[in-house]
Chain A
């Protein structure tokens, strides 16, 4: 959809790439460089204000994180910190190793998402994006799944504090359950969290069951749609559409935040879903449209997971940005971009934004998987009290 009058903001700093664990860690900030380069090559930032992020303040972080945890992260950020003494905080593990400057890098990412939300809520922008954000696994007092500070939760808490009464819809389409954000607002009826993910039967973090629906006054305001391993585009999009339309209509949000982790792709090495980049064109289209329909276009997008940094992330997030901008994309990737990155890439880089329909063999148990997902969607809708 094109909204020529939309004001958009792109929050970015080269310092975002300091959020980096080790050389061979799957969460690799090179994906941000590659994405930015692709966006620049397509001239999708011409005339768009590039917003330099400021780090989240201690006060902003304390709204969702434990002060002892913030303390531990700061101590673990010193060059001579001993990784073994931070295990209770989920730090110094193989997933979330400590590194010098960890606090500053994480606070900058969180600050970026706060700024994106603030720009939108204050009316300075209709849509804003922070591709370094989306660290949805971070808990109140524990790092988890490559996430140190929960930038999304920090931004939501900021909005709730500054814009009293605001109702926020958080949509998480990362392949993993958006557990951190869910638990932080589990009892809050003004923050609706909806997570679509591969079922936790095998996949990290294991939570995100249909039965996790919130607690107390927040009952019904946490939604989980655990989809089967090997789910493909059609079933994934069908589930999304069936849930998001009625649920968001009924909730009537003032702001939509969409986490755009792109690890549901067939190429992703950490998950077992079988989507193609088609869903990364269609999902932002859907959530962008809902923002215009339901909350005056107030729409914030963040990144998230995505571990095929060569073949998936740059395409997915460029399509996301083009959608927010209302600018059509060419079908083919610019050859000069491919030429610049192909040398480093372990696999041939794709040449089209949208994967061709016959790229992968169909899944043998497709019909059963689709049926199971349809049952899941029905159970989610049936148990949502405000529908």
Chain B
């Protein structure tokens, strides 16, 4: 999945000559936490709600409203901005945000701002990927960590004419194994579960497969 398919294209932006007060107003009105700063469409900086809070005098000196109106965005913005490209993979963008502990990535193409992705967009994508946008039952299977396992299980699904809406592969706490999680489009996975066990694999955590109440 590419960044362009999840990014927000109508970005709320600032210009360098705006005051911090303007930026605060815009942030509040649009309920956004990150605002790229642009000049002629080119990205020149980024202001976050944290930068704004830091610029704001504490309530004790509230007479300093003047200061907010006089300080320019240019002075408080971050100039060295992490960005991504619209054709980047979502997982790479997510890794970049996680590594640098940042809450958003402006999407830049040939220097021009074309969109933005936030933590929220990434989470939303994750929720969709893990999957319950289609009615499904969840089946988790432990398999040896060697080639062909996924194909083996997929064969069982095909034989049962069962459709899968998502597949995820996780590391297993058991050495030499991995776990495959399927969301299968059936209300009655019993025969599929039996097929898996007959094929010599272990169904994990499924309430049916564990003794009562000891999940």
By a beta-carbon cutoff of 8 Å, the part of chain A in contact with chain B is 26, 87, 93-95, 137, 144-146, 176, 179, 200-207, 229-230, 269-270, 272, 274, 361, 363-366, 369
In the complex, which residues of chain A have a beta carbon less than 8 angstroms from the beta carbon of B214? 364-365
Q: Does chain A have a CB within 8 A of B212?
A: yes
Q: Does chain A have a CB within 8 A of B183?
A: yes
Q: Pick from A94, A229, A269, A361: contact of B207, CB below 8 A.
A: A229
Closest chain A residue to B189, Cβ basis: A204
Q: A204-B136, A272-B208, A364-B214 are in contact. List 7 more A-B contacts (CB 8 A).
A: A26-B188, A93-B161, A94-B186, A95-B186, A206-B183, A207-B135, A230-B212
Given contacts A93-B163, A270-B188, A272-B208, contact A202 B138 (CB under 8 A): yes
Q: Does chain A have a CB within 8 A of B53?
A: no
- CB pair B131–A366 under 8 Å, yes or no, is no
Closest chain A residue to B215, Cβ basis: A229
A138 to B187 Cα, complex, angstroms: 13
* Majority-rule SS of B interface residues: loop
In the complex, which residues of chain A have a beta carbon less than 8 angstroms from the beta carbon of B163? 87, 93
- CB pair B187–A95 under 8 Å, yes or no, is yes
In the complex, which residues of chain B have a beta carbon less than 8 angstroms from the beta carbon of A270? 187-188, 190
Closest chain A residue to B162, Cβ basis: A94
Q: Pick from A26, A200, A229: contact of B132, CB below 8 A.
A: A200
21 contacts between A and B (CB under 8 A): A93-B163, A93-B185, A95-B185, A95-B186, A95-B188, A137-B187, A176-B187, A200-B132, A203-B137, A203-B138, A204-B186, A205-B187, A207-B135, A229-B207, A230-B212, A230-B213, A270-B188, A272-B208, A364-B212, A364-B214, A366-B213
- CB pair A206–B135 under 8 Å, yes or no, is yes
In the complex, which residues of chain B have a beta carbon less than 8 angstroms from the beta carbon of A207? 132, 135
Closest chain A residue to B191, Cβ basis: A94
Q: Does chain A have a CB within 8 A of B160?
A: yes
Q: Does chain A have a CB within 8 A of B124?
A: no
- CB pair B137–A230 under 8 Å, yes or no, is no
A274 to B211 Cα, complex, angstroms: 13
Given contacts A93-B163, A179-B135, contact A202 B186 (CB under 8 A): no
Closest chain A residue to B186, Cβ basis: A95
Which residue of A203, A206, A229, A274 has the most chain B CB atoms within 10 A of its CB atom?
A206
In the complex, which residues of chain B have a beta carbon less than 8 angstroms from the beta carbon of A202? 137-139, 205-207
The 3 closest A-B pairs by CB, nearest first: A205-B135, A272-B207, A206-B132
Closest chain B residue to A146, Cβ basis: B187
Q: Pick from B137, B162, B213: contact of A365, CB below 8 A.
A: B213
User: Could you tell me the distance in whole angstroms from the C-beta of B153 to the nearest C-beta in chain A?
Assistant: 16
- CB pair A201–B213 under 8 Å, yes or no, is no
A230 to B214 Cα, complex, angstroms: 9
Closest chain A residue to B206, Cβ basis: A202
User: Could you tell me the distance in whole angstroms from the C-beta of B157 to the nearest C-beta in chain A?
Assistant: 10
Given contacts A94-B162, A363-B212, contact A206 B186 (CB under 8 A): no
User: Could you tell me the distance in whole angstroms from the C-beta of B80 to the nearest C-beta in chain A?
Assistant: 37
